[in-house]
Each structure stands twice: as C-alpha cells, then as structure tokens.
C-alpha cells in the first residue's frame, strides 16, 4: 500500500466533492478536528449492506435518535429494534446488530475494537464491514471493496475477467492504491466516485478525476466493464397469507421464528413457501379468497402469496399468534412483505 498519483488525485477530488451523509465526517469537519464516531460508522455500514444510501438515511437518523450510543442500543428490547428496522430488509442484519451491540457493551466496555482483527471477531461483522470501520473510524490502512470499488478498479485497470471470479484480482488492485495516509477518506472517495461518476451505465468519464489513468476509457471499453457472469433465473415459491380481523379492529399477527427469512419479525400467519404449498389457516373461520396475490422478491427467489381474509368475533381463539388491538397495531412496524399483505387486505375488507 502506498501513496500513488491516483490516490492523491482522488483525495483532492473528495476534498472538494464529498457527498454529505448523516454518518460521515467530511473533509472540512476533519480539518476542524472532528473524528468519526465508530458507533455511527458501524451502524451505517450494517444498514448499507445490500441497501441504497437513499433508503438508509432516515433509518439511520431514527436509530441514532432512539439509541444514541452502542450501550443504548445494547439495552434496547429486541422487538423495538426489529420494529424500527422494518422495511429495511435482510432482517438477519438487525438481529446481528443487537448481538454485536451487546458484545461491544458487555465485553469491550462500550468501545469498538480499533483493528480489523478485533472488529471481524464481532457478531455480524464480515471482511468488508471490518475493513470499512477500521479505515473510516480508525484510519487503519485497510482495503475497502464494495460494488462501487470493484467497478472503478475494473475500469481503471481494464480487467476483462467477469465478476464474481474477478473479485480477488480487483481487491488486489484496490490494495495497491490504498494509501497509508487518510485511508478512510480514500475509501469513501472511491465509493463516491463509483456512485456519482463511474456509474454502472453511462459513466461521466469527462469529469472523472482519474480519467488520465483509466485504461478501459483509453480502450473505449468503460461502458462494458465490469463484465458479469449471467445469473440464473430466480425460482418462484408460492404460499398463502392469512389476514384475520376482529370486529373490534384487532389484527391477528404472529412473530416469525428467529432463524430464517423475516426472522423475529411480526407478520400475518402464512403457509409454507414452496412449489406446492398446503393451506394452513391459523384459526377455524370462513376464509375469503378475494383473488389477490402478494408479490415480493427476496435475494434468491420470487414469492407469490395468495391472500385469504376473514372477519371474526371477539371470542375467537387462534391456533397461532395473537390478536393485536387496533390502537396498538402499526403497519409501519411490519416488514415490507407483510405491509403489502396489509394493503391488499385493507382494500378487500373495504369492498365487503
């Protein structure tokens, strides 16, 4: 790792054009003596996994307002954290968030380890997140490689090997450019470059600070890189989702098992999700089939759930889950899949 013309030019560009983000200490703030809060860096990096910056901003602010320190988050109720996470997706991240916060609070005295090895030993922190926190929060010269960085490296060095096979090569190239000085700002500079200029389609090469170093641009191949191995088509799973409402407005909900998709989240009871699901209503009632289907896509498959609805009396006892009074029911606390079911069911109830 060393200072190079590319890293110097990217840092100069970052000093002038860094994106403003609620978790980031920008170049001017650093110059004034402000340092990143490891807790804020960690929280943002976990939230940003497989999610966009635009989607994360409000969640980050809300989390920090409710739980301003890692000790506060460690002391939070699991259900409160899961509800605050609802809609952000990939719910295993929220469970690991709590596990990690509690280890930091209980084992490390509320202070995050300041090295890659110490960070990667924490629950839910993998190689990318450990590198990002070490570089950004603690100025360790770790190599931070996300999708933006892979794209920038593939174009800078005209790497023809398709992803994901090219990951090791691209990481090695990124390591060769990572400077000993200001590695955190440099990591964010490359990510900003990929997000704003070296974009997946129609990169703005004319204003790129690394233009004179870009081999793919010189070869007329920037738009074609990085190459990717075609993905197999996602399979489709099916099932049934059951939305029951009492006459007093209460809704039937159940908490899903901690392990698996939507683990630990509240939602409407459903059948299994498979190629040939069997009906599995959570109570004995006259279930209606309004001909509506909840459609949702997970990382590895598409899900289609046939909607079933019913109105029941206050004396009804479910076999699974429990009725939540209308005054305590907050659709916003449901994961996106279940909010879709709620929206469809609300329309079906209104028509009957």
Tens digits of residue pLDDT in 197-216: 999 999 999 999 999 999 99
Tens digits of residue pLDDT in 123-138: 999 999 999 999 999 9
CATH class belonging to 5-224 = mainly alpha
Q: Are 240 and 271 in contact (CB under 8 A)?
A: yes
pLDDT at 352: 65
Q: Tell me whether residue 45 is one of the annotated catalytic residues.
A: yes
Query: Which candidate in 3, 9, 45, 351 is catalytic?
Result: 45
Tens digits of residue pLDDT in 95-118: 999 999 999 999 999 999 999 999
Q: Please state whether the peptide bond connecting residue 164 to the residue before it is cis, i.e. omega within 30 degrees of 0.
A: yes
Residue extents of the structural domains in the chain: 5-224, 236-351
Residue 68 has pLDDT above 90, yes or no: yes
Sign of the Cα torsion 204, 206, 207, 210 reads positive
What is the percentage of the chain residues whose pLDDT exceeds 90?
80
Q: Where are the alpha helices (DSSP H) in the chain?
A: 5-17, 27-31, 38-48, 53-66, 70-74, 78-85, 92-107, 116-120, 127-138, 147-156, 167-177, 183-196, 215-218, 336-351
pLDDT-derived band at 52, boundaries 50, 70, 90: confident
Residue 101, helix vs strand vs coil:
helix
Q: Which residues pair with 241 in a beta bridge?
A: 270, 307
pLDDT-derived band at 2, boundaries 50, 70, 90: low
Q: Which CATH superfamily is domain 236-351 in?
A: Nucleoside Triphosphate Pyrophosphohydrolase (3.90.79.10)
């Amino acid at each position: 790792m060393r200072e190079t013309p590319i890293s110097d030019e990217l840092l100069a560009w970052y000093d002038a054009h860094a994106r403003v983000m609620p978790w980031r200490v920008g170049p001017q703030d650093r110059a004034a003596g402000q340092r990143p809060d490891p807790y804020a860096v960690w929280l943002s990096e976990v939230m940003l996994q497989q999610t966009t910056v635009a989607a994360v901003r409000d969640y980050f602010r809300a989390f920090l307002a409710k739980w301003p320190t890692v000790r506060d988050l460690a002391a939070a109720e699991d259900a409160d954290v899961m509800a605050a996470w609802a809609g952000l997706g990939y719910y295993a991240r929220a469970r690991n968030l709590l596990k990690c916060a509690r280890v930091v609070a209980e084992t490390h005295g509320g202070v995050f380890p300041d090295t890659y090895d110490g960070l990667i030993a924490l629950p839910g922190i993998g190689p990318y997140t450990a590198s990002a926190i070490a570089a950004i929060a603690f100025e360790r010269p770790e190599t931070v490689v996300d999708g933006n960085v892979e794209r920038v490296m593939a174009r800078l060095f005209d790497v023809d090997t398709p992803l994901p096979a090219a990951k090791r090569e691209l990481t090695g190239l990124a390591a060769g450019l990572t400077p000993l000085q200001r590695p955190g700002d440099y990591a964010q500079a490359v990510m900003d470059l990929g997000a704003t200029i070296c974009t997946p389609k129609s990169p703005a090469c004319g204003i790129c600070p690394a233009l004179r170093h870009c081999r793919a641009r010189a070869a007329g191949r920037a738009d074609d890189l990085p190459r990717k191995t075609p993905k197999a088509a996602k399979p489709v799973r099916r099932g049934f989702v059951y939305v029951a409402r009492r006459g007093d407005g209460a809704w039937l909900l159940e908490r899903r098992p901690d392990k698996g998709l939507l683990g630990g989240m509240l939602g409407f009871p459903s059948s299994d999700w498979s190629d040939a699901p069997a009906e599995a209503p959570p109570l004995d009632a006259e279930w209606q089939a309004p001909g509506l289907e909840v459609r949702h896509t997970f990382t590895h498959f598409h899900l289609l759930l046939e909607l079933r609805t019913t109105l029941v009396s206050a004396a009804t006892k479910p076999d699974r889950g429990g009725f939540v009074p209308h005054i305590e029911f907050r659709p916003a606390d449901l994961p996106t899949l279940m909010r879709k079911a709620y929206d469809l069911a609300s329309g079906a109830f209104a028509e009957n």
